[in-house]
Amino acid sequence: AQDSMCMQLLAMLLYSWKVQARSPLPQKGTGDLGPDGEKAWPKKYPFCGGVFQSPIDFHKDILQYDSNLLPLEFIGYNVPSTDQFTLINNGHSVKMYLSPTMYIRNLPFEYTASQLHLHWGNRNKSEGSEHTVSGKHFAAELHIVHYNSEKYPDVTAAMDKSDGLAVLAILLEIGPFNPFYEKIFRHFRNVKYKDQMVQVPGFNVRELLPDRLDEYYRYEGSLTTPPCYPSVLWTVFRHPVKISQDQLLALETAMYCTESDDPEPLEMVDNFRNVQEFHERLVFISFREGKLYEFFYAKKQCTVICVNLKVPLYFTTTKIQKSHFPIVHLVPFPSLTSLLHGQLYENKVLMKSI
């Protein structure tokens, strides 16, 4: 009788194990994306280990005030509800394709909207923004991706070009319920698994942006996911937009990286990239903060202050050796603004080290 009882107990344990194997609990992570998986990116995608990478941390020592930076002009952003956006779970984020009638001005070129997507953390640590300010993470981050439609036929052709893309970044933090973001968030239940999609009625996409569009960070960087092409002109708005705690929780818990029939579902969390090395780039700001025309090289500092100059100057530096202080050349140029917002984006480097 004792042997029979042991056999029954063993059978029950085996059955329980089989049930658990058939119905696994959701795992956390984003596969080869996210803060952990990104360490392996450069092996397959060399640009991910290169320069001009994004995101970055904005801190006062790298900020260059530029009074010529203008607020962006948004054309066609108010899309009628009779039109439809396509919202899709692509396995590492939730992405919404935008209308080709949407575009932005007051950049070196005219850029047409392509898509928007989000980055976030997890329910236990809501610090999912990609860009940071003085080391501070925000709860999440929205990206609105545009391509240079003056030079390229579509976003695919533009994405690997140095002047190909312009991305608007909106930092999100906890606050009151946001009815404008809910126009997207309410559809998350319909894109729970990878490759699921749903149609979203058109709305005014401008409502997703902060009220103050005149204050922002501007720099040259890259895509924040593979293949990490250094092709992005970033505009990161200074003032965050607020969403509620419940809305953030929906973002952090609603979706999976895996398909609906996957036996091992994987929660879509922590789909942000860590901040990258700055590599002596310039960050221009449209608000008065930071140090004007201050450049840092290998722990050596060279400061140039321009006062009452009739002719704007083009700054270049030459480093003879790493141990030597940089030599600074001041070369007359017809327009500093045209240099910074024209040739800078074509040549990728304002200050060339030899």
Rounded alpha-carbon distances, angstroms, from residue 83 to 57, 79, 144, 200: 37, 7, 18, 9
Q: 279 catalytic, yes or no?
A: no
- Kindly tell me if the per-residue pLDDT of 171 is higher than 60: yes
pLDDT tens sequence across 3-34: 544 454 444 444 333 333 333 334 444 446 55
Lowest mean pLDDT among 10-19, 36-45, 72-81, 319-328: 319-328
pLDDT of residue 190: 98
Q: Between 203 and 6, where is the model more confident? A: 203
Q: Between 52 and 332, where is the model more confident? A: 52
Pairing of strands 94-97, 84-89: antiparallel
Averaged pLDDT, 282-302: 59
Q: How far apart are CA 160 and CA 144, in angstroms?
A: 17
Percent of the chain with pLDDT over 90: 68
Average pLDDT, the chain: 80
pLDDT of residue 32: 60
pLDDT of residue 280: 79
Q: Are the beta carbons of 351 and 317 closer than 8 angstroms?
A: yes
Confidence of residue 329 (pLDDT cuts 50, 70, 90): very low
Percent of the chain with pLDDT over 70: 71
Q: Between 199 and 293, where is the model more confident? A: 199
Q: Are the beta carbons of 133 and 62 closer than 8 angstroms?
A: no
- Kindly tell me if the per-residue pLDDT of 332 is higher than 90: no
- The active-site residue out of 59, 92, 117, 341 is 92
Q: Are the beta carbons of 234 and 223 closer than 8 angstroms?
A: no
Q: What secondary structure, in 3-state letters, does 154-184 show?
A: CHHHHCCCCCCEEEEEEEEEECCCCHHHHHH
Alpha helices per DSSP H over the chain? 2-22, 34-37, 41-44, 155-158, 179-185, 245-253, 336-338, 344-347
pLDDT of residue 3: 53
